[in-house]
Amino acid sequence: MLSHFPTPYPHEWMYSVYCRYYVRSGQTRRTAIIRELFPDRPHTAIGSLYPNSAILQVSAQLPNYPDARTLMLNHTLFLYHTRCFPAAKKEALITKLSSGTKTILGGIYRDRQLSAPRYCPLCMKDDRADYGEAYWHIEHQIPSMEICPKHECGLLCLDGVDFTTIKYDFYPLDTQNLIPAHSVSITAHKWEGSFSKILFEYATLPLSYAATPGHSNLATALADMGYEAKYSRDIHTALDFERLYLDLSMYFGADIVRKVFGDAQMAYQIARVCKWSCLTPERHALLQCYSGIDSATAFSEERKPGSLERQLRALEKSESKYGQQQLCELLGITPSQLSILAQKYDIQPFWKQHRSARTESIHIPLRAEEKQRILSAAAIYGNGQAAVFARSILLREAEKILSAHNQSKEDGHT
């Protein structure tokens, strides 16, 4: 059993807890502490940002300590990297990991990685005042977090310390040669504070804040900003992702958008994010930051109707009667868009429609040369409207045949 093993502080990285135990032990030999913590695995990677067997081995030696599941959820980046997974998938993953089943967290290792651990000098000052020592914060290790979400100052690295060196060695933050808090300058862009706070929420909100595959309130919010592709019949809210990518680059700067999404050819990833088929949290977070919605709304199981849907349903419930064209003018859409929206939101047409509308059709297979002859004739006699021309010819010839047939029947009776 481990004696005097420290209890984790709020949002403390599990690696930091091992480092504080190393300091408390009074040992100077790293290998002795490694063997004490992990008797059967002297080469265990202690500097991991993700749940691994080290947590299981330590928690098994501490009967009155937080269990492995709790440590994995609160002191690794599991919650951050699985934030956009469906809740059931997250629950299955954490259950396997905390029971010792070897599990690959798909997609995590493809995210942009940090080269070295980071700290905030102002958090270090606060921690020393509150707890008597500084410690490594897990949220500061989120790849796209450039500033502290609490103090909005830039995060710093230690000279000569990277993720390779900490993998099997101890670097307690409180004993390092750190930049003093009074020398820190706060130079964050306007949006960086909001973005960092969203990333922090992704790392700390409960497991239940998860993907909602049937809808995306984020996509709805972006559609309300004018990015909806209104002619799409997709059950998901379709976005003009190319225009959105350009506007994101103008707002955040081309560098950050390129880091998160890739170059302009990768703009289609925006559509995948809004359909929950791309689960990279930093992409979802950047779009959420731009849209201005909060995390509770972004991950809500309740679908939030968009502006057009709300207007359409309000007009449906009103006592006024509208013609199709009048309704389209009120909503600022075309008749085709109105038809698509009604189908997408399962709204029965409540507007006046022309009773003479053509609803039937005939499909006529043609050879290429036959179709070309019709198109050429339509260009001469039908103002280029092939369908109108073909219909008029068919109806004219049908009328001749029917008239001749009726005439022959009358002649037969006389």
pLDDT tens per residue across span 49-63: 999 889 999 999 998
Determine which of 112-126, 127-141, 279-293, 357-371 has the lowest per-residue pLDDT on average.
357-371
Residue 35, pLDDT > 80, answer: yes
Residue 358, pLDDT > 90, answer: no
Residue 26, pLDDT > 90, answer: no
Q: What is the pLDDT, as a whole number, of residue 110?
A: 46
170 Rama class: left (phi>0) / alpha (psi -120 to 50) / beta: beta
Residue 248, pLDDT > 90, answer: yes
Buried b / exposed e across 197-228, counting CB within 10 Å, b at 16+?
A: bbbbbbbbbebebbbbeebbbbbbbbbbeebb
pTM, two decimal places: 0.79
DSSP state letter for 140: G
Residue 172's identity, in one-letter code, is P
In the three-class reduction of DSSP (H, G, I as helix; E, B as strand; rest coil), residue 101 is classed as: coil
Confidence of residue 106 (pLDDT cuts 50, 70, 90): low
Expressed in angstroms, the distance from the first to the final Cα of the chain is 117
Q: How far apart are CA 172 and CA 190, in angstroms?
A: 33
Q: What is the pLDDT, as a whole number, of residue 109?
A: 44
Residue 251, pLDDT > 70, answer: yes
Determine which of 257-261, 305-309, 406-410 has the lowest per-residue pLDDT on average.
406-410
Residue 80 to residues 13, 75, 140, 201, 267, Cα–Cα distance (Å)? 13, 11, 12, 8, 23
More confident: 150 or 355: 150
More confident: 138 or 186: 138
Q: What is the pLDDT, as a whole number, of residue 302?
A: 95
Average pLDDT score over residue span 262-266: 91
Cα 193 to the chain's mean position, in Å? 19
Confidence of residue 180 (pLDDT cuts 50, 70, 90): low
Cα 139 to the chain's mean position, in Å? 19
Average pLDDT score over residue span 186-202: 88
Q: What is the pLDDT, as a whole number, of residue 383?
A: 54
Kindly report, residue by residue over 67-86, the tens digit of the pLDDT: 999 999 999 999 999 999 99
Q: How far apart are CA 299 and CA 17, in angstroms?
A: 31
Q: In 3-state terms, the chain is what percent helix, strand and coil (to 5)? A: 50, 5, 45
**Residue 178 exposed, middle or buried by CB count within 10 Å (0-12, 13-18, 19+):** middle
Give the number of other Cβ atoms within 10 Å of residue 52's Cβ. Answer: 16
Q: What is the mean pLDDT of the chain?
A: 87
Q: What is the pLDDT, as a whole number, of residue 27?
A: 82
Confidence of residue 91 (pLDDT cuts 50, 70, 90): very high
Q: What is the pLDDT, as a whole number, of residue 257?
A: 95
Share of the chain above pLDDT 70, in %: 90
Max mean pLDDT range (137-141, 159-163, 357-361, 399-403):
137-141
Average pLDDT score over residue span 358-367: 82
Kindly report, residue by residue over 375-392, the tens digit of the pLDDT: 888 877 755 567 777 888
Q: What is the pLDDT, as a whole number, of residue 357?
A: 56
